[in-house]
Amino acid sequence: MSAPDRTKWFSEARFGMFIHWGIYSLLGRGEWVMHDENIPAEEYNKLAWQFNPRRYYPEEWVALAKEAGMKYIVITTRHCDGFSLFDSRENDFTSAKTAAKRDLIAPLADACRKAGLKIGFYYSLADWQWPVFFKGPEKDPKGWKEYRAYLHGQVKELCSNYGRIDVLWYDKMKPVGRKMPYTARDWDAEKLNAMVRRLQPHILINNRSGLPEDFDTPEQHCRGSAPGRLWEACMTMNMQWGYFKADFLWKHPKTLIHNLTGCASSEGNYLLNVGPKPDGTIPAESVKRLKKVGKWMKVNGEAIYGSRRAAWSSGTAGVVTSKGKRNYLIVHWWPGNRLCLPSVKEKIKSARILATGQKLTLERRGERLILHGLPKKAPDVLSTVIVMESA
């Protein structure tokens, strides 16, 4: 399958849901709690025998993602703590072999496919259950070989046992005290990814195995890659990825829309995270925000899905996306009755507010294009979209 065929859906989706979930949610202090609080494995691993999410209904997660206007979901099948949400022959530290007694990934993958969403699997190449991860291949080459075989084995399971998988989202980390990060050679990433592509020929793979592969993954910012390179900004809704009870720094829906439109205007995707509670429910604050973004997307989604970079700048207004002869001026900072665009060289024949259909008057002053007749107040306080048609 050619690259354009494989990547077309991704470059049109623009908006997805990231899900960080695991036994760490029981402690409610984020997905790095084992590492950051230096909890010994023999103590931490007991959480697996308490993790039985009785209110986990993946269809509800998928329905919420769809309501928000998202086109795909990426879930942490196994984070750095080593606990797998899927059944695995590689070890017993899995949801299927502890308290939950079930594979938690399969029903989500099925729910996504039934609802028409793409499904992606996050998989951490770091595993704190293995002491050799902290030692490295130089100090324990035999142990590292065993560790690498385990990683390859689990990735093979993920790509073999769950039907069509659309994204493989690797993650990595550099152990404290190590001078250089692990490399593609350390992971034997060429062999690993070749196996993945044999099993899932259409799959998209991110850049965190040490090889560029299909797309880049900036974290907590929307500064993308060079034109022509696929990218996806993964960002949190508050400050944390995994469920963190004390984190009340929730982003305003306007901020979330700024991030989404910022990514879209630079031909990137916005992968917005939720951290479910240990019982399988998504925090109410996340739900509330996703519903508000979804309401905005129902009206303005055409400015986001399949968007491309525009040939001109929005000046002080916000951002611009483009599709064919249509440019979408997404106004974050409403100027009042008159809006000035600093340098629009192409001929614009009409402009209207997308939500209301109200037509605006255009005035050309050299390269400057001035829009007259805007309402004094923004029609949408979150962000208002103006459709501008080129001649």
104-117 pLDDT, tens digit each: 999 999 999 999 99
| 152 in the same domain as 292 | yes
| 126 in the same domain as 57 | yes
| 353 in the same domain as 269 | no
pLDDT of residue 92: 98
Among all chains, which residue has been given the structure tokens 């908006």? 15
| 226 in the same domain as 81 | yes
| 66 in the same domain as 203 | yes
pLDDT of residue 131: 98
| 358 in the same domain as 297 | no
Amino acid at 203: I
Q: Does position 4 have pLDDT exceeding 90, yes or no?
A: no
- In the chain, the number of structural domains is 2
| 318 in the same domain as 240 | no
pLDDT of residue 223: 85
Q: What CATH number does residue 386 fall under?
A: 2.60.40.1180
Q: And the tokens for 157?
A: 């399971």
Residue range 235-264: mean pLDDT, rounded:
98
| 342 in the same domain as 289 | no
| 322 in the same domain as 284 | no
| 209 in the same domain as 334 | no
CB 154 within 8 A of CB 96: no
* Structure confidence at residue 2 as a pLDDT band (50, 70, 90): low
Residue range 122-138: mean pLDDT, rounded:
98
pLDDT of residue 224: 79
| 293 in the same domain as 147 | yes
What CA–CA distances, in Å, run from 331 to 85, 183, 235?
Answer: 42, 43, 22
Residue percentage of the chain with pLDDT more than 70: 99
pLDDT of residue 330: 98
Which residues does 72 contact at the CB level (< 8 Å), separation at least 6? Answer: 13, 16, 17, 112, 117, 118, 119, 120, 166, 167
**Domain finish residue from 303, 318, 347:** 303
Mean pLDDT computed over every residue of the chain: 97
Residue range 153-169: mean pLDDT, rounded:
98
Q: Does position 326 have pLDDT exceeding 70, yes or no?
A: yes
Q: Does position 3 have pLDDT exceeding 80, yes or no?
A: no
| 344 in the same domain as 230 | no
pLDDT of residue 227: 84
Its domain, for residue 328, covers 310-390
- Helices 106-115 and 58-67: angle between axes, nearest 10 degrees: 40
Residue range 264-278: mean pLDDT, rounded:
98
**Domain finish residue from 303, 335, 353:** 303
pLDDT of residue 389: 97
Residue-wise pLDDT tens digits, 201-215 = 999 999 999 999 999
Q: What CATH number does residue 69 fall under?
A: 3.20.20.80
* Structure confidence at residue 1 as a pLDDT band (50, 70, 90): low
**Domain finish residue from 274, 303, 332:** 303
